[in-house]
Structure 1
């Protein structure tokens, strides 16, 4: 089958769907090619025993994420607050504590160390966020070291360093040795600081979408209707100043321009003819994706609430380093969601399913007591095992990459435009960043098409 359109969009995650919608609104003929048999990319709903949807991919939104909130409102969707009432659990170093508020009970010297590390980190992030990160005054210095190196230099106590290692695994689904300090500053600065990134009330985990986050993608897809072709994995893109020819299985699409809305590492699987410029190729080779296994464990009821616990727990010594109450709105079924990140995800992925499930349940029992053994459903998603995701939550750059090749992250190449949450300037890697990137790519295309038409 061969088709001709104005613009072909590769990828039906939020970024690709937003780009396609904006292009249609601009009066252009669009076709979206999606490798999977569904839309949504790294957001996905599954079902609990009672039929309620539960998110196994990205799910939270918060203040300051203006684009995704505007999209939610436009699509007629609603949000509700994440459950946070009760005492939280923290296991840091040799200590275990229950606490309310943002900060667990710790040695005052450790708390002071955590405070000064965060102050330094936020100051660095503000400086980097003021411009493209590769152009900043300290860009070479920060990009020449891993985030782990920066943390070791910033921390005065072992527990303070351990605390931020845990935060790093939770936020990036990676180890601080995996990416540069410049990428960390870029990412944190794009969220307005560490607190907005990791907080519930007033932060990125404040709210959830009624019916699950995939409803955003499903609603966008409904608007686009027959402009989306599923099970269409793109293998080849021929391009020139005259346009593009995109091959996806038995489908060939010719268009004036293409928006490629994929995680940057996955774009390296596509055969481009001619080959892409060296800076773009080098950039993609130096980007990797985080690794996380997200687990939802369902119970007859949220038993932890009766004990005065919020469901939030963190540990620097368990495979399940973070747990949250993930009970859907108005559901009688209680849900705890756990995250196995970074090297721990490597370890768990090598286990059998039964061994992995047993390890997860053991950690939940360690956090919440014997009642955690009495689950009614166990749902897991290893995003590194997803062929068309390659990992989660997002991709990042290794040391030296941003300063050498960062300018190629979102710059168009001929008729090729790049979208995806990693190409955003704010809320990088989040749904809001994905929406920003789709809007930006669509605007680039409209300007180019309009300029061509006016010649």
Structure 2
């Protein structure tokens, strides 16, 4: 049954961080806004649940220097910031299962391998500085950089087997994919959008430096409280029609809403599933179809106390053996319990997803036990979020540009299509894929709508 609703000024699709920020910014400017969310809760990729009285982030949760917009938003909402725990030694598990402790950012890989990796990282940094984050498809080397994968660059540049293995692990940790799936240009753009490779990889001074008290999900819920009845949950959008006077948005149950503009603030694979009438320009439609999400299973594992700290460990670990790519101490600020988060990314995530829930749990806890000792294998809580099985996300951390996508189709990246505007962490030239990028994109989309209203 079709239900027609009175018109609003703007419809925002997707109540993740980008959509919430966009809708709230438009509301403050006096626009009548409706925010349609497919799920039964807000937050998008900053999802959360409550475990033992504490909010647990199942999605994005870290922020760091240079991410000015999320820091400003947290301050405005009265959300406190506290540092990610880093005191103690980090852990590296080699491909043979040997566990080594190290301090700082340089794991014990052997002198030749470390030198090889350092040279490769330096070259990546230099190449990234040649990319314009606003228009990465431009530039004299754009076609050559976009015509190869990160894997082909690693094969050509990195001389040691250990160095290549480490950089594959790093790619999984950073982009949640295999280096063979990623355009070299996109890897460089991503680094440039963050400011530097160190900004991407480091905890102290980098994008993982700080956390939000109550979680990133708490920021989303506070924004949602401001928007109140403007939010419609359980409302997956299936069709967007536009003409010279406005847009009509149709959700799964047949309900239709009318507006002057619409902002699509969902991941590219979901935007590609919406029926647009008239159809999107071919280049824009083709871009949406070519951008898969990364593969991530995030585990939040709780203990009575952060026992690893007493053992002189930071809680941070990298595993070349797998299936875990990395772990981080995610214990609450209250100190009431210990929490490790573990990420299984790329091919290991695809492989692990084919197993039974019991097998996945056993495999994950065995891996944690190798990294942190037998106590890690006996948690009091265990939460799994396979982002690729989330119907309204289809992966994480962000969308991936394969070879050719930037240079062939990138000019359509953020451009409005008539009354259709775009938001989401994938549309930000600064901090692409991060919470801060989502905030920036929501602000930018609201500003674009306001400019369009003036014409």
Say whether the fold is shared (TM-score over 0.5).
Answer: yes
Give the equivalent residue in structure 1 for 2:206: 203
Is residue 2:375 matched to residue 1:357? no
Q: Is the 8 A contact 2:287 2:405 kept in 1?
A: yes
Q: Is the 8 A contact 2:132 2:138 kept in 1?
A: no
Q: After alignment, is 91-100 or 249-258 more displaced?
A: 91-100
Structure 1 residues 144, 38: closer, same or farther in 2, change over 3 A? Answer: same
Aligned equivalents of 1:89 and 1:411: distance in 2?
A: 44
Which of 66, 80, 93 is matched with 2:82 structurally?
80
**Structure 2 SS opposite 1:413:** coil
Give the equivalent residue in structure 2 for 1:56: 58
Give the equivalent residue in structure 2 for 1:263: 267
Give the equivalent residue in structure 2 for 1:25: 28
**Cα offset for 1:47?**
2.2
**Structure 2 SS opposite 1:235:** strand
Q: Is the 8 A contact 2:134 2:429 kept in 1?
A: no
Is residue 2:349 matched to residue 1:345? yes
Give the equivalent residue in structure 2 for 1:288: 292
Q: Is the 8 A contact 2:9 2:33 kept in 1?
A: yes
Give the equivalent residue in structure 2 for 1:420: 424
**Cα offset for 1:130?**
5.2
Is residue 2:308 matched to residue 1:297? no
Aligned equivalents of 1:443 and 1:346: distance in 2?
A: 39
Structure 1 length-normalised TM: 0.97
Aligned equivalents of 1:217 and 1:370: distance in 2?
A: 36
- What are the residue-to-residue correspondences of 1:290-439 with 2, within 5 Å? 290-439=294-443
Q: Is the 8 A contact 2:143 2:407 kept in 1?
A: yes
Q: RMSD in angstroms over aligned alpha carbons?
A: 1.1
Structure 2 length-normalised TM: 0.97
**Structure 1 SS opposite 2:383:** strand
**Cα offset for 1:106?**
2.8
Is residue 2:452 matched to residue 1:448? yes
Structure 1 residues 130, 257: closer, same or farther in 2, change over 3 A? Answer: closer
Give the equivalent residue in structure 1 for 2:216: 213
**Cα offset for 1:331?**
2.5
Task: Summarize deviations over 1:137-189 as a string: whole Å, max 9, x none.
Answer: 21100111111111111212111111111111001111111121011111111
Aligned equivalents of 2:430 and 2:416: distance in 1?
A: 19
- What are the residue-to-residue correspondences of 1:181-192 with 2, within 5 Å? 181-192=184-195
Give the equivalent residue in structure 1 for 2:92: 90
Structure 1 residues 231, 330: closer, same or farther in 2, change over 3 A? Answer: same
**Structure 2 SS opposite 1:288:** coil
Matched pairs, number: 450
Unpaired segments ≥5 residues, structure 2: none
Aligned equivalents of 2:54 and 2:393: distance in 1?
A: 25
Q: Is the 8 A contact 1:113 1:156 kept in 2?
A: yes
Q: Is the 8 A contact 1:93 1:159 kept in 2?
A: no
Q: Is the 8 A contact 1:92 1:163 kept in 2?
A: no
Task: Summarize deviations over 1:337-367 as a string: whole Å, max 9, x none.
Answer: 1000011001111110000000000001111
Task: Summarize deviations over 1:87-121 as a string: whole Å, max 9, x none.
Answer: 11112445642111111123221111111111110
Which of 161, 164, 184 is matched with 2:167 structurally?
164
**Cα offset for 1:193?**
1.3
Where do 4+ consecutive residues of structure 1 move more than 4 Å? Answer: none
**Cα offset for 1:443?**
0.8
Q: Is the 8 A contact 1:92 1:162 kept in 2?
A: no
Aligned equivalents of 1:157 and 1:68: distance in 2?
A: 40
Aligned equivalents of 2:443 and 2:426: distance in 1?
A: 14
**Structure 1 SS opposite 2:186:** helix
- What are the residue-to-residue correspondences of 1:216-227 with 2, within 5 Å? 216-227=219-230
Q: Is the 8 A contact 2:242 2:419 kept in 1?
A: yes
